[in-house]
Amino acid sequence: MNYFAHAFRFLDDPYFVAGTAVPDWLNVADRPARVRSKHVLPFLDDPDAPTAAVAGGMRQHFHDDARFHESRAFVEVAYALTASARDALGNEAGLRPSFLGHLLTEVLLDWVLIEEAPAGLDAYYRLLDRTDASRVQVIVNRMSPRPTQRLAAMIEAFRAARILSDYREDARLLGRLNQVMRRLNLPPLPDHFSGILPEARWRVAGRAGEMLA
């Protein structure tokens, strides 16, 4: 699952919402500092309310991912989008199609949810804007076996970029996908790759309820 799918049911607590994003933020900003579920559990009842909320959001993220990635709908949609990516990339495919099938399924599920409730995306960013990025970093460093100094900057950049808004348009979505490709040192996707996105949106929208059940 991606950022909004983790958070859309909990748009009433800024630090819980931030917690749902922390594992993905760390994966981008400082992968060795990743926090596991076992590191979060001791902080769920922390007397500091923001700490408990961040821990609760992180636990929700781990729970969501475990359920989501085992669902039949996710496996089938990701497989179909892998095939579409392979066909679109041809000899350029390399090892990317399965990764792209997985990634597209997740980001387009966010798009489905945003289309269903556009006000929810505004609420999501308003809540994140109310959090203190440095405080979130301090909270996470209490949990992490390997503290990070990069998380606060990642939160600030994420809030400023408003990347989830770009999922609505194919050209802008392709640009965001290519940001991921650059971060992973993979070749960029060609412009014609956007040709598979309308069908990909249709496939994800048709199974979104099953993936979220």
Residues 87 and 24 sit within 8 Å (Cβ to Cβ): no
Check residue 48 and give its pLDDT.
Answer: 98
Check residue 93 and give its pLDDT.
Answer: 55
Average pLDDT over residues 78-91: 93
Residues 29 and 148 sit within 8 Å (Cβ to Cβ): yes
> For 88-139, what is each residue's pLDDT tens digit?
998 765 668 999 999 999 999 999 999 999 999 999 999 999 999 999 999 9
Structure tokens at 121: 């995306």
**For the whole model, what pTM was predicted?**
0.95
Gyration radius of the chain over CA positions: 17
> For 134-177, what is each residue's pLDDT tens digit?
999 999 999 999 999 999 999 999 999 999 999 999 999 999 99
Dmax of the chain from CA atoms? 56
Average pLDDT over the chain, rounded to an integer: 96
Residues 179 and 162: their CA atoms lie apart, in Å, by 14
Check residue 95 and give its pLDDT.
Answer: 61
Residues 166 and 172 sit within 8 Å (Cβ to Cβ): yes
Average pLDDT over residues 68-87: 96
Specify the residue for token string 């990317």.
96
Q: Would you kindly state where each structural domain of the chain is located, as residue ranges?
A: 3-212
Specify the residue for token string 């350029």.
92
Distances (CA, A) of 18 to 123, 135, 168: 13, 11, 22
